[in-house]
Amino acid sequence: MKRELTFILNGEAVTTEVDPQWTLLYLLREVLELTGTKEGCGYGECGACTVIIDGQAVNSCLFPVMEVEGKRVTTIEGITSKDGSMHPLQTAFINEGAVQCGFCTPGMIMSAKALLDAKDKPTEDEIKEAIEGNLCRCTGYVKIIDAIKSAAGGR
């Protein structure tokens, strides 16, 4: 049985029919075709599917879709300005060499954004804490930390 769901997605109100069994990730990727959010494992262990719900970084692959009712959801597609200019974190990831295969990148950026939204100048430990749930096999994380520091420093 499908049910109606209303929430704020990337700053705009969205009303859509969903199967209550779906995860938020399924709605985003398969129905709304926002494929910037990735599925790396499907059980909350890799962070590739991270989105921000009401300020919190969340694994959308585990998040029951009905629970976003009335909430604000931000995906990687939602942090680029309408004029196409990128979020400072996106720019920093690009300029600091924090992107290799890129599959973890959207989730990594969303985890970092939730951190920077809550805290202007995080310590290195706080950065590590924030992205501990985001796995990356390519970069060794060094330049990802550099990028987050650089984005935080540039604000």
Partner 1 sequence: MNNLTIVGKKIPKRDAPLKATGSAVYIQDLKIPGMLHGKILYSKYPHARITGLDTSMAEKLPGVRAVVTASDMPANFRIGVMKDNPPLKTGKVLSIRDEIAAVAAISPEIAEEALSLIKVEYEELPGTFDPLEAMKEGAPLIHEEAKSNILKMPWKLVCGDVEAAKKESAFIVEDTFSTPWVTHCCLGTSGCVAQLDAKNNLTLYSNTQIPSLAQNDYIEALNAFGLKGKRVRIVQSVIGGAFGSKLDTYAYEYIAILLALKTRKPVKIVFSREEEFFATSPRQCTITKISHGCDKEGRLTFREMEMVLDNGAYTSWGATTPSVMMLPISSLYKVPNVKYVAKCVYTNNTYSQAMRGYGNPQATFAIESSLDQLAEKAGIDPYELRLKNANEPGEITPQRFKITSCGMKECIDEVVKRLDWKGKKGKGGNRGVGMASLIHVGGGARVYKSDGCGTIIKMDDFGKVDVFTGASDIGQGSETIIAQIVAEVLGIPIDDVNVINNDTDICPWDVGVHASRTTFVAGNAALGAAKKIKAQILEIAAKLLEEEPASLDIKNGVVFSVKNSEKTIPLGKALRKLHYTLGGNMLMAEYFYDPANENFDKEFKGNLSVSYAYGAHGVEVEVDRETGKVKILNYIAAHDVGKAINPMLLEGQIYGGGLMGLGYALGEKMIYEKGYLKNGNFLDYKMPTVKDIPPVQAVIVETDEKDGPFGAKGIGEPGLVPTAPAIANAIYDAVGVRIKDLPITPEKVLAALREKEGQTHK
Q: Buried (b) or exposed (e) across 27-60, using 16+ Cβ within 10 A?
A: bbbeebebebbbbbeeeeebbbbbbbbeeebbbb
Q: Which residue's CB is nearer to partner 1, number 73 or number 99?
A: 99
CB of 129 to partner 1, least distance (A): 8
What phi, psi does 8 have (nearest 5°)?
-100, 120
- The two beta strands, 3-9 and 12-18, are antiparallel
Q: Which is nearer to partner 1, 70 or 154 (CB)?
A: 154
Q: Least CB distance from residue 42 to partner 1, whole Å?
A: 6
Q: Which residue ranges make up the site for partner 1 (CB under 8 A)?
A: 29, 34-43, 45-46, 48, 75-77, 80, 86, 90, 93-97, 99-106, 109, 128, 131-145
Instruction: Please report how close the Cβ of residue 100 comes to partner 1 at its closest, in angstroms.
Output: 4
